[in-house]
Amino acid sequence: MKLIMAIIKPFKLDEVREALSALGVQGMTVTEVKGYGRQKGHTEIYRGAEYAVSFLPKLKIEVAVKTEVADAVIEAITSKAKTGQIGDGKIFVTALAQVVRIRTGETDGDAL
Amino acid sequence: MKGNIVKKLSLMGLAGAGTLMASAGCAFAAATPKIDSGDTAWMLTSSALVLLMTIPGLALFYGGMVRKKNVLATMAQSFGATALITVLWMVAGYSLAFKGSNPFFGDLSYFFLKPLGLTAVSGTIPESVFMFFQMTFAIITPALICGALADRMKFSAFMWFMGLWLIFVYCPIAHWVWGGGWLMTAGALDFAGGSVVHLNAGTAALVTCLVLGPRIGYGTENMAPHNLALSIIGASRLWEGWFGFNAGSAVTSGFNAGMAAAATQIATAAAAVSWAAVEWIINKKPSVLGMISGALAGLVAITPASGFVDPTGALIIGLAAGAVCYTSAVWVKKWLGYDDSLDAWGVHGVGGALGAILTGVLASNAINSSAHGWLYDGNIHQMVIQLEDVGATFVYSGIVSFIILKLIDVTIGLRVSPEVEVEGLDINLHGEIVR
């Protein structure tokens, strides 16, 4: 099993979610985060007080998937979240040791 | 000039009542003094409007501009000031501002408002209404100072400052200009408080931010407003409420109030336009904060002039205020480096002084029979009086505010500890947060 964490531009969420649904991925966790990579921030000015803001709003999506579908999921996220501009984000994949569905107690593959 | 009109009308009212009694030839007790229900209705409304300027106008305006960790504490200052000043005004403030014949300080003849009966009259309205109307001015004036001390003052020190400042700074200056004191006698023109309210509070604000020192991280840390939407709503409340402030200072409902309302709207809008225009040219983008600050500068500058100028005068004052206050709030502040957090001096102090001076220039006898200005009436001497008003207010407010602050500082301390300042005032001073 893999835990796939993707940092994407916020407006891409719906497209990514639809694509993952089509692949049979039935759940995800989304967090609002701030971050930067090589994308420049912006400058805010309030009555002469200037603030260079390097952190930009992003979304972090986390999905737990069976290893067999991991590559398809990564491909789906990559193609839907891409705009071609700097700041599209990154995907991090880690090995998932254990999964439990709380309601039923099912584990691992049955819980995904 | 309110006081003179009030006195004349009171005497006329009493003379009228006396004549009525004599001609009726009756042995009844004195007839109830005559009040005008139109004037009274307007003045009751004006009082509510001016109160609205502080709560929630000022509370929202300032609250939106501070960082989220201090929003409740900032708003608490407006609410706290409202509550405390109301009580102190009732106890002694009204008396010290409006009673007594000493040219510099009022007296305590109306201590606890004891002599203020149900049927007491002030001009054409119940005196209870006049007292309440003036109370709302006494509330907002010290509350304006919050702008300079944002994010770093103890609530206890703040409340002490509010109370002492009301008694020792606001009441005397109000007495000088409106309560029969020396500036009123000299003929100073201040319709609704350019010097009594704005220059006064603005000067105290400047002194306060210098005494307190800058916020930790000023100049390096991100102190961007946490929610300008709140500030926009607050500024709008201030704009709307200001009609009670300016048009209500006619103390009657009629021609003077009407022209004062028109002048207020024109000047405010003109200032918003001129600030936005200057900013658009310099920064390539007009900001919303700039537009509302411009509007506020216009409101401040038209305050002393509102009942004395014609629409053209109002337009000129507004256009000037937007540009001048932009300069003081943005450039001068950056250049001199003081942390007037929310530009209380830059907008209220400078705007108030500008307005007071332009009042002397643009006041017109055709608009208000008690005024003789420079441009329309050829009375250059009015400029001398206006400058005296500005100078005296600045010096007195500056010195006494400084003394009060130092007194509080050596007794209970003015500023919160660095740990409290960094973590935030809301949780530390009030035990509450917004999520």
Per the structure block, which two tokens stand in for B8? Answer: 């004349």
Categorize the per-residue pLDDT at B419 as very low, low, confident or very high, splitting at 50, 70 and 90.
very high
State yes or no: pLDDT of B70 exceeds 80. yes
Answer whether B62's CB lies under 8 Å from B146's CB.
yes
State yes or no: pLDDT of B26 exceeds 60. no
Domain count, chain B: 1
Average confidence score pLDDT of chain B = 93
Categorize the per-residue pLDDT at B2 as very low, low, confident or very high, splitting at 50, 70 and 90.
low
CATH of A2-111, one of 2.70.70.10, 3.30.70.120, 3.30.160.20, 3.90.230.10: 3.30.70.120
Q: What percent of chain B has pLDDT over 70?
A: 93
Number of alpha carbons in the 13 Å side-chain half-sphere of residue A88: 12
| Tens-digit pLDDT profile for residues B313-372 | 999 999 999 999 999 999 999 899 899 999 999 999 999 999 999 999 999 999 999 999
| Tens-digit pLDDT profile for residues B154-173 | 999 999 999 999 999 999 99
| Tens-digit pLDDT profile for residues B268-291 | 999 999 999 999 999 999 999 999
Decide if B11 is inside a domain. no
| Tens-digit pLDDT profile for residues A46-74 | 998 989 888 899 999 999 999 999 999 99
Q: How high is the ipTM of this complex?
A: 0.79
Q: Do A48 and B331 touch (CB under 8 A)?
A: yes
Decide if B21 is inside a domain. no
**DSSP-derived secondary structure letter, B417:** P
Q: Do B224 and A46 touch (CB under 8 A)?
A: yes
Q: What is the pLDDT of residue A10?
A: 96
DSSP alpha helices (H): ranges in B344-380? 350-362
Answer whether B53's CB lies under 8 Å from B241's CB.
yes
The range of the structural domain enclosing residue B115 comes to: 34-430
What is the average per-residue pLDDT within B71-93?
A: 98
Answer whether B234's CB lies under 8 Å from B59's CB.
yes
Burial class for B238, CB neighbours closer than 10 Å (0-12, 13-18, 19+)? buried
The CATH number given to whatever domain includes residue B105 is 1.10.3430.10
Model confidence, pTM:
0.88
Backbone phi, psi, residue B8, to 5°: -60, -45
Separation CA B3–CA A92 (nearest Å): 75
Most B CBs within 10 A among A32, A44, A46, A47, hence the mutation to make, goes to A47
Decide if B8 is inside a domain. no
State yes or no: pLDDT of B16 exceeds 80. no
Q: What is the pLDDT of residue B7?
A: 57
| Tens-digit pLDDT profile for residues B363-405 | 999 999 999 999 999 999 999 999 999 999 999 999 999 999 9
Answer whether B282 touches A (CB < 8 Å).
no
Of A45, A47, A51, the CB nearest to B222: A51
Q: Angle between the B381-411 and B200-212 helix axes, to the nearest 10 degrees?
A: 40
Q: What is the pLDDT of residue B397?
A: 98
Using a CB-CB cut-off of 8 Å, the residues of chain B touching A46 are: 65, 224-225, 287, 289
Using a CB-CB cut-off of 8 Å, the residues of chain A touching B294 are: none
Most A CBs within 10 A among B222, B231, B283, B345, hence the mutation to make, goes to B222
Most A CBs within 10 A among B334, B336, B340, hence the mutation to make, goes to B334
More confident residue, B9 or B278: B278
Of A44, A47, A51, the CB nearest to B329: A47
Q: Do B283 and A53 touch (CB under 8 A)?
A: no
Distances (CA, A) of B146 to B320, B352, B388, B432: 25, 17, 27, 20
Helix (H, G, I), strand (E, B) or coil at B371: coil
Separation CA A29–CA B314 (nearest Å): 58
Separation CA B51–CA B238 (nearest Å): 10
| Tens-digit pLDDT profile for residues B199-245 | 999 999 999 999 999 999 998 899 999 999 999 999 999 999 999 99
Decide if B294 is inside a domain. yes
Per the structure block, which two tokens stand in for B259? Answer: 């022209």
| Tens-digit pLDDT profile for residues A20-53 | 999 999 899 999 999 988 888 888 999 989 898 8
Helix (H, G, I), strand (E, B) or coil at A58: strand
